[in-house]
Amino acid sequence: MRQGPLTGLKIVEFAGIGPGPFCGMLLSDLGADVVRIDRKGQGRSSPADITSRGRRSIGLDLKNPDAVETCLKLMEKADAVFEGFRPGVMERLGLGPDVALARNPKLVYGRMTGWGQTGPYAHAAGHDMNYIAITGALHAIGTKDKPVPPLNLVGDFGGGALYLAFGLLAGVISARETGKGQVIDCAMSDGAASLMAMFYGFKASGMWKEERRANLLDGGAHFYDTYRCADGKWVSIGSIEPQFYALLLQKTGIEDPDFAAQMDRGRWETLREKLAAVIATKTRDEWTEIMGGTDVCFAPVLDLDEAPKHPHNAARETFVEIDGVVQPAPAPRFSGTPGAIQGPPPAIGAHDREALSEWGFSDGEIESLKGSGALAG
């Protein structure tokens, strides 16, 4: 039994990599019935395939006309569909938005790509780092010497999956009001640019310098940075506001009058060196005991083994363990209709009969698909 605020929403997902599965996970965690179309073939599931959790898999041979027709019938019954292929691939399969919307005028058709459906780069390959490179985001992140990829959080997941989920749900609301579906062109480069809105505002107001580690939020300020402790571990300090900065000086025992010039950019580097020397006198745990949970704006820098065990994360059950795999719990949290991990990552074709039957296919139709070779199992 599915639970969450999206219970009753029916979504078709065409299997992909990176942001597509993550989007499917987010929707499933909140209760949507997400049926994933996998390419026909043997595929075992792994509990470690966290972003595939909670869906049901139908294995289809998309070169088979019966499989294509099956996809279109599923789209007829769906509120939304999403895919992550390069522009033109779904059209060549006979599953493009024009065909799908003709079958279901209320369908919301999400298209996830790095560069978008149009533009000079639309048909080029790329990865997260490339998509955020053209937005200004990658230039702003890193050391003074070079830009550093921020994992694939900014493009794939932030600018891609989250914007796709947002777009799909907005499209469904619109379709329910107007009776008309539409195509969502979700480009990771567009989403990453959108995430940079505040920083373009900083630039326009003269608050942002085109240098890394020279600004308020990029590690340039001594009061917004990470520091190595006596044990080689790290802490994060973000004491921007004057009252929080004053508390930082109190907790660290700093009485040096130079620190009064908090917002003097010309002194940031010198003050960073002085603060680093103080932080290096104690271990990470000692500083956590002194500053943790206070208004210093402080937190220890934890690795992936440590994070789930942190008292705050443990108290909120931010992480859960399923089949021996520690993983993030569903987010955000709803007071009346809480989400849940709806099931384990599925093997390819694990739910051929179950999902098709629940979506309105008769036993005879399912047997016919098996006989034609369109269906995997």
- Percentage of the chain lying above the pLDDT 90 cut: 97
The helix (H) or strand (E) run that includes residue 172 is helix 163-178
Which structural domains are found in the chain, ordered by start?
A: 10-195+320-372 (3.40.50.10540), 224-315 (3.30.1540.10)
Query: Could you tell me the CA-to-CA distances from 281 to 75, 107, 230, 238, 323 in Å, in that order?
Result: 62, 60, 5, 19, 41
Task: Output the pLDDT for position 18.
Answer: 87
How many angstroms from the chain centroid is the CA of residue 146?
Answer: 25
CB-based contact 82:110 (threshold 8 Å): yes
pTM of the entire predicted model? 0.96
The answer to whether the CB of 268 falls within 8 A of the CB of 221 is yes
Is 351 annotated in the active site?
no
Task: Give the residues across from 327 on adjacent strands.
Answer: 320
Backbone angles phi, psi at 363, to 5 degrees: -60, -40
Nearest to 283 by CA among 346, 349, 360, 231: 231
The H or E element spanning position 138 is helix 137-140
Confidence of residue 363 (pLDDT cuts 50, 70, 90): very high
| Whether residue 41 has pLDDT greater than 80 | no
pLDDT at 279: 98
Catalytic residue of the set 61, 128, 156, 190: 156
Q: Which two tokens stand for residue 342?
A: 């709806």
Provide the mean pLDDT of the chain. Answer: 96
Write the pLDDT tens digit of every residue in 295-336.
Answer: 999 999 999 999 999 999 999 999 999 999 999 999 999 999
Does residue 98 carry a catalytic annotation? no
Catalytic hit among 66, 127, 285, 295: 127
